[in-house]
Amino acid sequence: MNKIVKSASEALEGLQDAMTIMLGGFGLCGIPENCIAKMVELGVKDLTCISNNAGVDDFGLGLLLQKRQIRKMISSYVGENDEFERQMLSGELEVDLIPQGSLAARCYMGGAGVPAFYTPAGYGTEVGEGKEVRVFDGKPHLLETALTADFAIVKAWKGDRFGNLVYKGTARNFNPAMAMAGKITIAEVEELVEPGDLDPNFIHTPGVFVQRIFQGVNYEKRIEQRTIRPKS
């Protein structure tokens, strides 16, 4: 039951070129900073990355994009990354843009073992091209398939050695759904505690979904855009 590994390096054991990787987070909030940095160092390439966004040019997934380690991005919002835009427009990067709710649902369904589901989101747009359509209650719905990954890499506020996780604030968005959908789920946490220290009523990801966990270090927790009012 002890799922603790010593470092990001040990957590990423078995990561290979051309794998599909889910990475939790929303913007730069709740992203697995330690694992991303280690992936850059390892030099794995031709990755398919599933993430709500693509980081910024010099942080988060932007670091992997700089090194041309990502072949395909499956994501929802990419407006903060100029390098992503350049690679997408030049054809260097394959991109599958998905409505945010559909992306979250596809990850959740992958974890729940549901292969596909119908949603009205995206009907009548480029999102729906080539997808099956059925009408429910007079409203067209697209058939969307579930998403899974070779590795799901998430970042939590607290976790125990059994892999139980608690997220804080905005980090509790894509992280819980993605934690369910990886063949191997890695959790890096700010604080590693003993079993029993986490209130079971407030555990967001049960340890059954997590295979490896470690305490991260030196979190920057950057903000994409910091806007302040001038002093009056």
Q: List pLDDT tens digits, range 176-192.
A: 999 999 999 999 999 99
Q: What share of the chain is helix, strand, coil (3-state, %, to 5)?
A: 25, 30, 45
Is the pLDDT score of 232 beyond 80?
no
Q: Which CATH class is domain 8-115+147-215?
A: alpha beta
HSE on the CB side for 31, CA within 13 Å?
A: 24
pTM value? 0.94
pLDDT of residue 93: 96
pLDDT of residue 1: 81
Q: What is the pLDDT of residues 89-125, one digit of tens each?
A: 999 999 999 999 999 999 999 999 999 999 999 999 9
Is the pLDDT score of 228 beyond 90?
no
d(CA 53, CA 79): 8
- How deeply is 127 buried, as exposed, middle or buried, from its count of CB atoms within 10 A (0-12, 13-18, 19+)? middle
Q: Where are the beta strands (DSSP E) in the chain?
A: 20-23, 47-50, 70-75, 94-97, 116-119, 133-136, 139-145, 149-160, 165-166, 182-193, 212-215
Residue 10 · residue 211 · CB < 8 Å: no
Q: What is the mean pLDDT of residues 76-80?
A: 84
Model confidence at 66, pLDDT cuts 50, 70, 90, reads very high
